């Protein structure tokens, strides 16, 4: 057995499991669940820029950690905009014990906020990013954080990946869960500009790890601010939709409203404002 084959077998033995058929089935269930709980799933992105990223180049999508829904939101974004990539995401090992099925969906457990956890993150993540078509989704804030709080520092492991993997494309992802005019909240997302690991400073020199951390932090916070500005404007035309906004009747109140519209020979629309 050659040395290269030995490395390949070792890599495959430690690569987290991500079964496509099971991921697709989970996302079918998740989409139905999101459709029931949320009015819509709206997103902003530059599709042309994403299409220019070679499939052989691994991507790391790093996002703020706003809610329990983040992994599902990230999975749906991967399916919609990165369908040929394999989904992976680190998760707290204690939380993974409560959701064992996620071990088959690309999630891998880590002891967060520990030295051992940081080392395991770099080791496992390097294996993932060395594999074909990888898409890693990560929440480097390390804990649930309000979307308006931009003070938490990003965990340093994110910037350390630059020295571990020859080529990576980092993509900031901002997530919000906000109410507009309907009874259910909406998921809002924005994919910011891609950052290639061969990025250089204005002087042409390679960035240090602290500089990389600052660059990635600024890109995520800027993406969050731009998304927040769009959400505040309440203009649905600024987004495209993974799940479109659908009208929903609210019990007896809308039942009587529909009868009134019928008697007045008008078309009944259960929405409480103009369509998004």
Q: Where are the domains of the chain?
A: 16-245
230: tokens are: 């769009």
**Residue range 155-197, pLDDT digits in tens:** 888 999 998 888 999 999 999 999 998 889 999 999 999 999 8
Which residue has better confidence, 256 or 6?
256
Helices (H), 130-208: 157-164
Alpha carbons within 13 A on the beta-carbon side of 266: 9
Mean pLDDT of all residues belonging to the chain? 85
Give domain 16-245's CATH architecture.
Answer: 3-Layer(aba) Sandwich (3.40)
Q: Is the pTM of this model over 0.75?
A: yes
């Amino acid at each position: 057995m050659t040395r290269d084959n030995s490395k390949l077998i070792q890599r495959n033995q430690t690569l987290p499991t991500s079964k496509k058929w099971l991921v697709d089935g989970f996302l079918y269930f998740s989409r139905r669940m999101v459709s029931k709980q949320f009015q819509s799933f709206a997103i902003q992105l530059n599709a042309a820029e994403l299409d220019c990223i070679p499939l052989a180049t691994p991507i790391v999508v790093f996002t703020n950690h706003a809610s329990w829904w983040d992994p599902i939101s990230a999975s749906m974004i991967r399916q919609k905009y990165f369908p040929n990539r394999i989904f992976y995401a680190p998760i707290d090992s204690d939380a993974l014990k409560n959701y064992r099925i996620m071990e088959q969906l690309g999630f891998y457990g880590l002891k967060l906020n520990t030295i051992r956890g940081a080392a395991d993150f770099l080791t496992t993540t390097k294996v993932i990013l060395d594999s074909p078509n990888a898409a890693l989704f990560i929440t480097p804030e390390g804990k649930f954080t309000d979307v308006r709080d931009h003070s938490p520092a990003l965990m340093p492991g994110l910037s350390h990946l630059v020295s571990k993997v020859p080529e990576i494309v980092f993509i900031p992802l901002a997530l919000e869960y906000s109410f507009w005019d309907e009874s259910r909240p909406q998921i809002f997302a924005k994919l910011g500009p891609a950052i290639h690991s061969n990025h250089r400073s204005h002087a042409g020199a390679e960035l240090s790890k602290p500089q990389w951390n600052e660059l990635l932090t600024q890109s995520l916070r800027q993406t969050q601010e731009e998304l927040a500005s769009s959400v505040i404007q309440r203009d649905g035309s600024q987004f495209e939709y993974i799940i479109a906004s659908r009208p929903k009747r609210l019990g007896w109140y809308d039942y009587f409203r529909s009868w009134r519209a019928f008697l007045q020979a008008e078309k009944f629309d259960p929405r409480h404002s103009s369509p998004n």
